[in-house]
Structure 1
Amino acid sequence: MKIFEKIITSYNKEMPFVVYRKPNKKSVSALFSTIDSLTFTNSFTESGFVFAPFDNTKKAILFSLENSEYINEKTSLDTLISDDKKNNLDEKSKKNHIKLVDKTIKEIKNNDLKKVVVSREELVALSDFNLINVFQKLLSNYKNAFVYIWFHPKIGLWLGATPETLLEVNNSTFKTMSLAGTQLFKNVNNVVWKNKELEEQQLVTDFIENQLRNISTNLTIDKTETVKAGSLLHLKTKVTGKLLENSNLKTLIRALHPTPAVCGLPREKAKKFIVDNENYKRTYYTGFLGEINFNPKSTDKNSSLFVNLRCMSIENKTASIFVGGGITKDSNSKKEWEETVAKSSIMKRVL
């Protein structure tokens, strides 16, 4: 594929690019930037691809359509099943994460926090990292995810396969989702969800409904369903609506990001707890990425944004894999640790 060749060329020349495939699609799209400067957006009125951090007070990086070569190609990759890498469990990491979860549960029980999403960074040494091979494995193994590779010489290299849509917007009509609750897929037809996961999911859905009520009309909340993402199962609720005339894409993004699925409730208190207590900086993990005001062949303004989950950054032959989980008063710290181990395996199996 021409796109794969251009990935190598741009990466070697240290020129910014993003290559991605939307969930359940047969084609891969790419923007190869013609400039190497760092460009940001705060208005979300431009046309291009954004890469935004978890911290919603900071600007999103923009690869503008105007300053990029756009390519779209069909893929013909068969499913590649990689052997699951054994998780070399770091006892120190386990101890630290369990301690953090226990502290979070105590904090929730002692004040008005309802949920906090806490996460950790797992470092994996890479002996023979091949950028194209890893990207191809992501594309082949995670057909129903938003799969991407993103690079900027001033920021770094990121890859991911996220199951969570933040927003899909066509002119003034939008779709979003609440995605919470996690369990391992065990090839069973009757999936049983415990109260903890159901409550966590409902908190996210209620937040989205409350945030959108005053900026939209025709708001519809679908029934909650179970969805598969790699080796994991999640609870998902689809939400649709239409923006009011005095609202826009920025209004929508500010209302939703960061959602309780990656932050917590109340949002600002949960965010402060995360920043104060996680022992690393999330940067772009649990941020969002995707197309804004984007349709090269039409005057329609389409935006497709995804939450940056199941992702990793690569630097100096080391992969930083980011994983977390939603904590409520009913959480069990050892089970929360096991959930992060299951989530980290999604990235590990392609390395």
Structure 2
Amino acid sequence: MPNTTGQKSGTLSFYTETIEVSRLSAHAFFEAGDDSFKGKRFFWQNKEKTFTLVGLGHAHIISNNLESNRYKDIDEKWKALCQSSLMEKVDVSPILFGGFAFDPSNMISSEWDTFPSAFFAVSTFQLVIQNEQAFVSIHYITDEKDSSETFERLRIERDALIHTAQVKELNVHARPNLIAREDRLKKEYLDAVEDVTNRIRQDEVKKVVIARSLKLKFDHSFSPSTAIYNASMEQPESYLFGLEKEDKTFFGATPERLVKVENGKAQSAGLAGSVRRGENSVEDKELGDSLLSDSKNLGEHKYVVDMIHEVFAQYCEEVKVPTRPKLMKIRDIQHLFTPIEGRLKTEASLFELVEALHPTPALGGAPREQAIEIIRASEQMNRGYYAAPIGWINAEGDGEFAVGIRSALLENEHAYLYAGGGIVAESSSLDEFEETRVKFRPMLRTLGGNMND
């Protein structure tokens, strides 16, 4: 029998019920919500494919437009909701999913204007697939005195969504045709790289990550469910995420974990310094070996590892950091990679770690605040949620955030892609431009284009 729990939170009651379901595809469940919940869905799958999360509908939204204290605000509101309303242990913990803007002080008007500084939601219908088991939960948060009739309607709707996902074939929409592509602010990007390189050579700053954007136009709207599904096929070794907000979907397949907390254990990773994959295994090994000995990339990587180590030393105990990086090889690119772990201090929280880590030097630079100011002025664009934390937290405080790179923002018949690279003293604007071309490839293939169009 399902366990239904309803507890008071001031004037709010949080009702939740979970059932176990057999043979349920996460992509099909996301697609099943297309008619009723488009614009109010999310998708997450970790790199190891051991945890998948889909949310349909908004039972509750926690968001803000703060420039400071935005992490603490989300953290406190989520804890208050859970502590007041979920007094009993539930079968599957309700999950809050969402993301943060890279730089809430960036006021440049852009395709991200409808996204606040922080946006998180508890779904009405939550699918969790873990340990080869699938669970569907209903969440209903209300100030109604008697919600029994509403909850019964939600049960009927849940059963219809499950039936659709199990019985109907996944509707993989035909990809629309790519009819135009624009390298946005290309001259500004090249100028920014040159300017930042000169600043670094004059010791004004150690490292700055400069990004650029592509704008694609299709002959009709791109289906978010198909885009997420295609991304899973293109980059199976990466985190997969999708976050809808009204008529826009931010999605991607990112190789980079920001931080994970599970049963008091915190894990992060330094991921910086990269080179393309080889045409064959011999060339691939040569490129990888050269990356492991390249002073520019090793220096860039060290900034990231040192910064994460410093954060973990503050919030964790028993911190472990390998002495040398290893290679992470994904389809188009190989990165220098160093895992870092520790035991979270009792008083610390996942959101505190997210705040302390974002942006790492792999996405921002060093020193951090100076790098962010240079990015804001030099890029002349708004990154929105690109290169920012996106992920989830449950009622127990466990969760995981990735960095929103290898990503795109869909808006009707348009898509916006983003890619960047770390600028150091040895950087060349043309080399950096070519590196971003490599980083665009996964999303371009996902959306039906390529760098040679």
SS in 1 for 2:49: coil
- Structure 2 residue identity aligned to 1:52: F
Alignment of 1:88-167 (within 5 A): 93-128=185-220, 129-153=222-246, 156-167=248-259
| 1:33 counterpart (54, 57, 67) | 57
Cα distance in 2 for residues equivalent to 1:54 and 1:92: 19
Q: Specify the SS of the correspondent of 1:113.
A: coil
The one of 282, 285, 307 aligned to 1:189: 285
Report the equivalent of 1:78.
none
1:271 aligns with 2:363: no
Q: Secondary structure at the match of 2:400?
A: strand
Q: Which amino acid aligns with 2:371?
A: A
Q: CA deviation at 1:268?
A: 0.3
Tell me the amino acid that sits aligned with residue 241 of structure 2: Y
Match of 1:297 in 2: none
1:19 pairs with 3, 22, 43, which one?
43
Find the aligned partners of 1:336 and 1:286 in 2 and give their Cα distance. 17
- Corresponding residue number in structure 1 for 2:433: 337
- Structure 2 match to 1:293: 394
Which stretch of the first structure deviates more once superposed, 262-271 or 51-60? Answer: 51-60
User: Which residue number corresponds to residue 149 of structure 2?
Assistant: none
CA distance in 1, matches of 2:226, 2:354: 33
Aligned residue number for residue 407 of structure 2: 311
Q: Distance in 2 between matches of 1:91 and 1:316?
A: 19
1:251–1:133 distance in 2 versus 1, CA, 3 Å? closer
Shift in CA distance, 247/17, structure 1 to aligned 2, threshold 3 Å: same
> How far apart in 1 are the matches of 2:184 and 2:46?
37
Question: Which of residues 7, 18, 30 in structure 2 aligns to 1:7?
Answer: 30
AA aligned opposite 1:325: G
Aligned to 2:75, the other structure's residue is in SS state coil
Q: 1:173·1:243 contact (CA, 8 Å) conserved in 2?
A: yes
Residues 21 and 139, structure 1, Cα contact 8 Å, conserved in 2: no
* Contact kept in structure 1, 2:188 and 2:380, CA below 8 Å: no
The residue that corresponds to 1:209 in the other structure is: 309
Match of 1:168?
260
1:55 aligns with 103
Displacement of 1:135 in angstroms is: 1.9
Deviation of residue 310 (structure 1)?
A: 0.4
Change (3 A) 1:282 1:11: farther
Change (3 A) 1:19 1:228: same
- Report how far residue 271 of structure 1 moved: 0.4
Note if contact 1:125-1:317 (Cα within 8 Å) is conserved in structure 2: yes
Alpha-carbon distance in structure 1 between the residues aligned to 2:26 and 2:184: 41
State whether residues 125 and 318 of structure 1, in contact with CA within 8 Å, keep that contact through their aligned partners in structure 2: yes
Partner of 2:169: none
The structure with the largest alpha-carbon Rg is 2
8 A Cα contact 2:207 2:361, kept in partner: yes
Q: Distance in 2 between matches of 1:92 and 1:53?
A: 20
1:90, distance to aligned residue in structure 2 (A): 6.1
CA distance in 2, matches of 1:91, 1:136: 26
Deviations 1:268-291 (A, max 9, x none): 000011111112101100111111
Q: Number of residue pairs matched?
A: 337
1:171 offset after TM fit, Å?
A: 3.3
Higher RCO (C-alpha under 8 Å, 6+ residues apart): 1
Distance 1:293 1:71 in 2: 13
Structure 2, unmatched stretches of 5+, are: 1-23, 65-70, 79-94, 106-115, 135-176, 448-453
Q: What are the superposed Cα offsets for residues 282-310 of structure 1, whole Å, 9 maximum, x if unpaired?
A: 1100111111135xxxxx54211100000
Tell me how far apart the structure 1 counterparts of residues 234 and 50 of structure 2 sit (CA, whole Å).
Answer: 13
Q: Which moved more, 1:90-99 or 1:260-269?
A: 90-99
Report deviation, 1:250.
2.7
Q: Is the 8 A contact 2:390 2:402 kept in 1?
A: yes
> Structure 1 residues 33, 122: CA separation in 2 closer, same or farther (over 3 Å shift)?
same
Other structure's SS at 1:202 match: helix
Contact 2:315 2:345 in 1 (8 A): yes
String of CA shifts for 1:75-98, please: whole Å, max 9, x gaps. Answer: 9xxxxxxxxx99x98678543322
Letter in 2 for 1:121: S
Any idea what SS the aligned residue of 1:44 has? helix
Q: 1:212 to 1:24 in 2, by over 3 A?
A: closer
**Structure 1: distance between partners of 2:126 and 2:184:** 45
The partner residue of 1:68 within 121, 124, 128 is 124
> What is the one-letter code of the residue matched to 1:167?
V
TM-score relative to the length of structure 1: 0.86
Q: Distance in 2 between matches of 1:283 and 1:93?
A: 16
Partner of residue 178, structure 1: 270
Q: Distance in 2 between matches of 1:18 and 1:275?
A: 29
1:80 maps to which residue?
none
SS in 2 for 1:226: strand
SS across alignment from 1:239: strand
Aligned with 1:120: secondary structure? strand
C-alpha RMSD of matched pairs (Å): 3.0
- Residue 97 of structure 2 aligns to which amino acid in structure 1? F
1:19 and 1:150 in contact (8 A); partners too? yes
Alpha-carbon distance change, 117 to 164 in structure 1, aligned in 2, over 3 angstroms: same
Answer yes or no: is 1:253 the counterpart of 2:354: yes
Give the drift of 1:28.
3.6
Structure with a larger share of its residues in helix: 2
Deviations for 1:57-92, whole angstroms, at most 9, x for unmatched residues?
Answer: 77421112xx531113579xxxxxxxxx99x98678
